Structure formats: structure tokens, C-alpha cells
Amino acid sequence: MDNQRIFLWAGLAVLLFLNVQTWQHDYSPPTTAVAVAQTTATGAAAAPAPTGGSLYDAVPGAGAPPAAPPAVSPAATTSAVPAAVVGAPTETPIASTIHVSTDVLQLEISTLGGEIRDAQLRKYPRRKDTPNDLIHLMSADGADGPSVFQWGLTTGGTAAEPNQKALFTAAASHYELADNQDELSIPLTWTDDAGLTVTRTIHLRRGSYTIELMQSVKNQSAAPWRARAYSQITHHWAKAERSMWDPSTYSFKGPAVYNAKKYQKLDLEKPDPDQLPKAPLTGGWAAALEHHFVVAIVPDPAAATDYTLSVKDKDYRLGVIGPWQDVAPGAAAAFHETLFIGPKLQEQLSAVAPKLDLTADYGRLTVIAQPLFWLLSHVHRLIGNWGFAIIIVTFLIKLAFYPLAQTSGRSMARMRNIAPRMKAMQERYKDDREQLGKQMMELYKREKVNPLAGCLPILVQIPVFMGFYWVLLESVEVRQAPFMLWIQDLSLRDPYFVLPAIMGAAMFGQFKLNPAPPDPVQAKMFAFMPLVMTAMMAFFPAGLVLYWITNTVLSMAQQWRINQLVELEAKPR
């Protein structure tokens, strides 16, 4: 009785602790922004994001830039990452919206800072049965929070600047890529009273999700002007609860950077300055990742660029800031960078920047998954169907591992031939386990049989299987790809569970074809395994189940043929 009371009190204490934790989670005051900024070469660090307002409103800017002599090379010096703009307008100007449409993108651009407030992917609906419900990679009016791209030039608060709060003018409110056009440009203009003119040009191409961003500055004032370009993605995020019933929950969603040497996904729960590049660098990029889609900023590869990350509640702001440039009176300067808004099409991503295709994140199995995708994509180009491409690639993999499988299959075939003698031996020594083990080992040695040989092909297949899993899960090229009949999306589960049932039947046939384990308990476990695999694979992508069916059927055909050859060799001549 005393022990029961101890357990009851312990249970009540645990429940009380959980209640307190839940109350703190639900009713504790909201957290302030956590800013992560990288120290630059001068040793100054970025100021934190403002604790009031939202990341959406934050403008890079900061103490005055370092004083420069009359003639300074644009790349001669870098300074601290800016913090707050002094010269930002106190009231938000009235802005208009520019609608831009190409064959693949539909954008809404505000004349306030040239901000991209909405981005729809015209060829990617959320669901295949709702073709008009398009993916919105960006939306300033998102239900969870704003998701926008902002860019501009900052002077560090020393002069008027064309930042994200500056009002630009546009020649038209609607731009559309005509059928006879391959390129489309949207110019935006800003001027100040002193004679400074900034023209921003947003350049798009047919069939491409790459957007070229150019800012040209003409200084017609009497004083030199100094600024640096910045770009930033503000995005909502939420930690996904992983579930084996929804494989997409295992995909990484959040910010990532590439420092010209290493690709790194950033931790938003515990922001750490060491995650970001330690010094201004060239040749890198920053990206906001979602499942199958990405928004990536690629700075000028020749410009030394700083990277910043700020986190507040369930929003993050990932930004890049270029080097200071000086524009003398009567002179001009240009700033250039690239923006990618679209699906993780690896061929397009590779053409935009080095290693940008790593945003199609295969995790630790990239070394296996990337060659598999390369092979799959090349086969798909020849036949035009991803389902048949999976079947053909599976056949090629089996062909590559045929020597290994043949050695294993011959050993298993010999095991099948000596099965009657093994059974008789088990009956004879059923009361002497030690002697049984000794006799069976002598039999294996005499007949040149390796009882573990059948495990080797399975061990080899596991990494390939997992690589295929990540290819089908992460490759947007396979998203909503049809196969045939009722399988109209290889990246989703079979809606009628037909393929998992076929897979289970094929695995049971393979079990019957192979020699039964000598241990009756193991034999029952192996007989039950097809049912377990059928239940587990029922919710996996149909393309993955198709691969496993093809692999199992090919293994059965190969083992059946090897069994025949071994029986013929065993017959006396």
C-alpha cells in the first residue's frame, strides 16, 4: 500500500509539473527579437533587430559609415552591418502595386521600396485536383505572418536613401511577358531633392524563376554619396512535428547559407552567431527553404558580402549586405544581385550559383541521392514518364550489383538444397543445442554455404532505398508526376493501397522462394515481415513503393534462375 501511495504522489507531481509548463507556454509574455549578426572585418558587430514592431518593418541601416577620403575604391573598405535608419520617413508613403506576369511567375511589387509582396508559381498548384490554387511562395498578407522580399541601398543614416521605405515611381502598373517576348524588365525610379537618382530594374526571362536585380545610381548633386546594397527575406516559420504518416514533415524548412565552401542549415530555435559566415565573403548565397520550393538571394559574386539573421517569435529575417561604394558628384555606380523564387529545379539552381542545387536537401544521403536523381532525370528525358524511369533505374541498379547478388544467391540456393538434411539434424540433436550447432557448422563448411550471405544484398540495398526515398521526397521534378492508371502522383501514397498490397505479395513470394531459417521462431518472423512492410509502406510515396516492388520482383526472378542453375550443377553427370 505504501508503495502505491508513493507512485500516486509521484504521478501527481509529474502532472502538476506538466500543467505549469503548459501554462507558461500558453500565457508567458511574447519573446523579444533575437538578432544574430556577423562581425565584419573591422571588428564592429551588427546591432540587434528592434524589439518593437516586427521584422517586416526592420530596415538595415546603422551608425554612420566610416569616413572616406575624396577618392576611395568601391571595394576598399567594409564597415559594420547597419542597424537603424535615421533618415527613414516617419510616415509610410502611399504606395501602389505593380502586377507582373510571366509564363511561370506572377508577382506583386510595391512601389514602396520595390518590395516583392506576393509571388505565385503559375505551374505549381497546391493540389493536383485544384489547378487554380497556386503555391504562394511569398505573401505580405499571409495568415501566419508576412513573407516578403525587400531590397535597397542604405547610407547608414547619413543621407536620404532609397531603402525599403522609399517611394519609387513606375511607368506602368501592369507588366506581362507577351508570347513574342523572351525577356521582361520593370524599371522603378527614385530621386531626392539634392539631385540623386536611383533606378531599379527587375529583369525576368521566359521559363526561368531567376530574377535579376539591378540598381543604378547617378549622383548629380554637389556632394559625394556613399551607400551599400542590402537584400532580405522575411519569412514565417514553425517547427513541424514529424510524423511517419506525412513524410514531408521530415523536410527542412527554414534559412540556409552557403559560404563558398560549406552549405549550412541555420537553427532558428537557438540562434548562434557561429552559424553565419565569420567575415565578408564572395561567392556565397542565402536562402529560405520550404518543402520543394526556395527563395534564394545570390549577391554579386565579386562583392564582399555580410550575412545577417534575426528571429522574432515565429518569423525570421535573413539578409545580405554588400560593401560600401562611393559615388562622386557627377559619377554613377551600379549594384547587382540575383533572386530566385521558385521550385527546387536542380538544373536551374545550378546555373544560378555554385551549390545552389543543395537546397534540394537530401540530407546525409546526398552522396547517394544526387547520383540517383541524375540517373533518374536522364532516363526520364528519354521516356518522359517518372514511373517507368524508376523501374528502369531499379533494373540498372540490380544489374550493377548482379555479381554480388549472384554470389549471395548461390549460397542461398545451396541452403535450400541442404534444408532436408538440416531438418533431420535438428530432430536428431533437438536435446543437445551445442552438438547441433557444431554439426550445422560442419555441414555449412562441407557444402560451402554461408548462412549470412542472404543479408549482404539487403544491407547494400538499404542505403539505395533511403537514397530513393529522399529523391522522391525532395525532388520537385517528381512532385505531382503521374505514372499510369490510378497513380497520378508518385510523390504521394497510393490512394487505393494497391501498390503496397502488390509489394506485400511479392515479398511473401520472395520469402517462399528463399530457404527457411533453421530456427522456427525466425521463420515465423520472416513470414510475418511482408505484412509489417505492407502496413508501413502503405503511406509512403507511391514512387518508393514502385521501386521496392520492382526490386523484389527482379530479386525473385534472379533467385529463381540461380536455384535452377545450382540444382543442375548438383545433379550427377
The CB-side HSE value for 333 (13 A sphere, CA atoms) comes to 21
What's domain 31-66+79-94+144-169+181-238+250-361's architecture?
A: Distorted Sandwich (2.70)
CA-CA-CA-CA dihedral for 488, 492, 497, 500, to nearest 10 = 110
Are the C-beta atoms of 318 and 233 separated by less than 8 Å? yes
What residues of the chain score a pLDDT lower than 70?
1-55, 59, 61-93, 240, 242-248, 271-273, 405-417, 419, 447-458, 514-523, 563, 565-573
Q: How many CB atoms are closer than 10 A to CB 539?
A: 17
* Residue 490, phi then psi, degrees to nearest 5: -70, -15
> Global pTM?
0.77
d(CA 128, CA 135): 11
Helices (H), strands (E): how many in the chain? 11, 20
**Cβ partners under 8 Å of residue 317, min gap 6:** 49, 55, 58, 232, 233, 234, 235, 308, 309, 310, 311
| CATH 2.70.98.90 placement within the chain | 31-66+79-94+144-169+181-238+250-361
C-alpha cell at 383: 521516356
d(CA 62, CA 82): 4
Tell me the C-alpha to C-alpha distance, in Å, between residue 174 and each of 96, 182, 183, 205, 263: 11, 17, 15, 16, 38
Please provide the distance, in angstroms rounded to a whole number, between the alpha carbons at the two ends of the chain.
79
Q: CA–CA separation, 201 vs 420, rounded Å?
A: 81
Rounded Cα distance, 166 and 159, in Å: 13
The C-alpha cell 514592431 sits at: 53
Sign of the four-CA dihedral 115, 117, 118, 119:
positive
pLDDT recorded at residue 119: 95
Q: In sequence order, what are the beta bridge partners of 204?
A: 184, 211
| Per-residue model confidence (pLDDT) at position 324 | 92
- Among 86, 218, 69, 220, CA closest to 157: 86
